[in-house]
Amino acid sequence: MSQLINNFFTALTFMTRIPVKLKEISKLKLNYFPLIGLLLAVIVILAENFLALIFTVEIRALLLLIIYIYLTGALHLDGLGDFADGFFAGRDQEKTIKIMHDSNSGIFALVTLILLLGLKYLLFKELLLRDSIQTIIIMAVLARYLLGYVIIFIEPAESSVLAGALKKDAKTIDLFYSTLVTAFIFFIYYYFTESLLLYPILISVVLISLLIFYLDRWASRKLGGITGDIYGTIIELGELIFLLSLAAF
């Protein structure tokens, strides 16, 4: 049991800013990704219960988005920004890798992040107006669960240390456990809310899968494989796709 807790804390330390004490750093296991998404969403929901006593919907939507970004350490946003700068610059592989590794953000990153965050703010506001902020549980869990398939089945670029390390440590059995955890979370969500969200989930899975396929093909041509920055891109755009699908239905 202590090893399981330590493995979870290792994943938590890597994917969030939540402070935990580690006895030792273990391998990063993808089967904990859905649980991390659940924890992040629950913290945001608890924050909303407090903020609803004080602020208007507009202010709460922005504060909740800020809290969510802070909890993740803007890790996935950083990946999305690096991806936008590198892939939209129209350079060769060597130049693209250099741009993505540059700590400075370019115009493509700034525009992409501004548009994404603005849209996410509006979608968070929509959730509050619908009194359905609890649906971010599905958003956070689903995006991180689908990332597991990317890690298992898509080859990383030689230039990506992070993607290579995750691929090396990932096992198919981890994806099986991740599926069980995700299914259990969805079942508990339905049990307490009686909201199946069937169409938004199915549409999201299809669209995120198409996104992954497209990014895989693009990254293969551009970099020779997928990278850690693209992992972050998949999570950010995957969450956005779910929120848009939810808003549509």
Which amino acid belongs to residue 153? F
Q: Which two tokens stand for residue 52?
A: 């609803």
**Residue 248 CB contacts under 8 Å (≥ 6 apart), including other chains:** 200, 203
Q: What is the pLDDT of residue 4?
A: 82
- How long is the chain? 249
3-state secondary structure of 156: strand
17-26, 206-215, 230-239: segment of lowest average pLDDT? 17-26
pLDDT above 70 covers a percentage of the chain that reads 100
Q: Which two tokens stand for residue 10?
A: 């290792």
Rounding to the nearest 10 degrees, give the CA dihedral for residues 169, 70, 9, 170.
-10
Could you give the C-alpha distances from 193 to 11, 27, 161, 231, in angstroms and in order?
A: 28, 35, 41, 30
Mean pLDDT confidence for 192-208: 94
Whether 40 and 141 have beta carbons less than 8 Å apart is answered as no
**Residue 68 CB contacts under 8 Å (≥ 6 apart), including other chains:** 40, 44, 136
Whether 189 and 125 have beta carbons less than 8 Å apart is answered as no
Q: What is the pLDDT of residue 159?
A: 83
Tell me, what DSSP letter sits at residue 235? Answer: H
Q: Residue written as tokens 């990278």?
A: 227
Nearest to 218 by CA among 201, 200, 237: 237
- Kindly tell me the sign of the dihedral angle through the C-alpha atoms of 10, 14, 15, 19: positive
Q: Over the stretch 66-94, which tens digit does the pLDDT of each residue have?
A: 999 999 999 999 999 999 999 998 778 88
Q: Residue 211: is its pLDDT beyond 90?
A: yes
- Distance (Å, rounded) from C-alpha 220 to C-alpha 51? 45
Could you give the C-alpha distances from 249 to 128, 137, 203, 217, 232, in angstroms and in order?
A: 15, 17, 10, 30, 26
